[in-house]
Chains A and B, each alone.
Chain A
Amino acid sequence: MEDSIQIQVNGEQRGCRPNATVGDLLRELAIKTDRVAVELNLEIMDRKDFDHRSLKQGDRVEILSFIGGGAPVNAPDIGRGDTHAE
């Protein structure tokens, strides 16, 4: 895809079709939208906006869900501030 844009999803670079929405990305990854939280460039998204927000070059997306826990393990570095984790 010549005109694909680069985004970062859960810390990994990946190509993405221009104008794809966050909802498109979740469907492509086969992730059910209930029970996940999506952070786009450090801002938590409202689930209602998944299909309305288009992804842009350099966007950083974090997709999180619930896992077994209670006894803590170290939280993963899900990136902070303005620098791109890589």
Chain B
Amino acid sequence: MQNDRLTIAGHEFTSRLFVGTGKYKDFAETKKAIEASGADVVTVAVRRVNITDRSKENLLDYLDPKKYTILPNTAGCYNVEDAVRYARLARAAGVSDLIKLEVLGDERTLFPDTAGLIEAAKILVKEGFVVLPYTNDDPIVAQKLVDIGCPAVMPLAAPIGSGLGIRNPYNLKIIMEMIKVPIIVDAGVGTASDAALAMELGADAVLMNTAIAGAQDPIAMAEAMKYAVYAGRLAYKAGRIPRKLYATASSPIEGML
């Protein structure tokens, strides 16, 4: 599958697997897992620098911004004001105008507050950000985000970190058919088959963190996810057979005794 590149607002990616960098044991493990995943895009969070212990290393010492597209997020923000503030801080910290916009609505489910998301997206798009919104599996909200100017939308598969897999394949399929910008299935993937299924449904990419970082062997799981996303993409492009209730023989009857 040569030249099957994903383009979002002028950024071109070879891998359709996006990975988060949270929850790893240390930066060395983070780096190895990301290398094994083959991802081009890695998400990061924006937080206070530890000023009392400056010996702490910087994540970006391990992830070369020339090699990876760093996608800062607004994780942990529960209102429009905070999300906009963290997005501006991320831009000021100087990687790019890309932002994975999260406005969360509830601590238990970490489901997006889609009303807040739309409001924050409007503000940030106006300020020139390339806004990639983490949203619910709601086709109408997805369309609104596109209308605002988001160059991709990122509907969830299941609650963040839940590992429940694709909970609503029908809504995701509707989003993929309705929405004319890249769809990145974000959050909730548990294992390789979940990622493959997302891609078979027609997702343009899959973003995950916990499924890899929380696996017993994160580096092996990162590699599994690489192949799953690739295989799912190939299967989607190949076009699967329709589901039928009864058998269809594969071997010809002619020539039988």
Q: Which residues in window 7-28 of A have CB below 8 A to B?
A: 9-12
Cα(A38)–Cα(B88), bound, Å: 11
Distance in Å from the Cβ of B242 to the closest Cβ of chain A? Answer: 36
Type the 1/0 row for B9-47, where 1 means its CB is closer than 8 Å to any CB of A.
Answer: 000000000011111100100100000000000111111
Cα(A30)–Cα(B88), bound, Å: 24
Interface check B152, CB cutoff 8 A: no
Interface secondary structure of A, over-half rule: loop
Q: Which residues in window 55-70 of A have CB below 8 A to B?
A: 62-70
Which chain B residues border A68 with CB–CB below 8 Å? 20-24, 27, 30, 44-45, 59
Evaluate contact between A37 and B73: CB separation under 8 angstroms. Answer: no
Of B90-98, B172-180, B231-239, the stretch lying at the interface with chain A is B90-98
Interface check B89, CB cutoff 8 A: yes
Evaluate contact between A69 and B43: CB separation under 8 angstroms. Answer: yes
A73 in contact with B51 given A68-B21, A68-B45 (CB within 8 Å)? no
Partner of B209, one of A35, A62, A70: A70
A31 in contact with B94 given A68-B24, A70-B22, A70-B209 (CB within 8 Å)? no
Evaluate contact between B59 and A72: CB separation under 8 angstroms. Answer: no
Partner of B75, one of A38, A46, A70: A70
Interface check A1, CB cutoff 8 A: no
Cα(A29)–Cα(B95), bound, Å: 22
A63 in contact with B49 given A44-B89, A70-B209 (CB within 8 Å)? yes
A64 in contact with B23 given A35-B60, A70-B73, A72-B110 (CB within 8 Å)? no
Which chain B residues border A34 with CB–CB below 8 Å? 94
Which chain A residues border B213 with CB–CB below 8 Å? 71
Evaluate contact between A71 and B210: CB separation under 8 angstroms. Answer: yes
Cα(A65)–Cα(B58), bound, Å: 8
Evaluate contact between B22 and A66: CB separation under 8 angstroms. Answer: no
Which chain B residues border A47 with CB–CB below 8 Å? 92, 94
Distance in Å from the Cβ of A9 to the closest Cβ of chain B? Answer: 6
Distance in Å from the Cβ of A16 to the closest Cβ of chain B? Answer: 13
Interface check A74, CB cutoff 8 A: yes
Partner of B94, one of A12, A35, A67: A35
A63 in contact with B48 given A44-B92, A68-B24, A69-B22 (CB within 8 Å)? yes
Evaluate contact between B93 and A67: CB separation under 8 angstroms. Answer: no
Evaluate contact between A10 and B51: CB separation under 8 angstroms. Answer: yes
List residues of B whose CB falls within 8 A of some A CB. 19-24, 27, 30, 42-49, 51-52, 54, 58-60, 70, 72-73, 75-77, 81-82, 86, 88-95, 102, 104, 107, 110, 160-161, 207-210, 213
Known pairs A32-B58, A37-B91, A47-B92 / 4 extra A-B pairs, C-beta < 8 Å: A9-B51, A66-B90, A71-B22, A73-B76
List residues of A whose CB falls within 8 A of some B CB. 9-12, 29-32, 34-39, 44-47, 62-76, 78, 80
Q: List 22 A-B contacts (CB under 8 A).
A: A31-B51, A36-B49, A36-B93, A37-B91, A65-B49, A65-B93, A66-B44, A67-B46, A68-B22, A69-B20, A69-B44, A70-B19, A70-B45, A70-B75, A71-B20, A72-B45, A72-B73, A72-B110, A73-B45, A74-B76, A74-B107, A78-B48
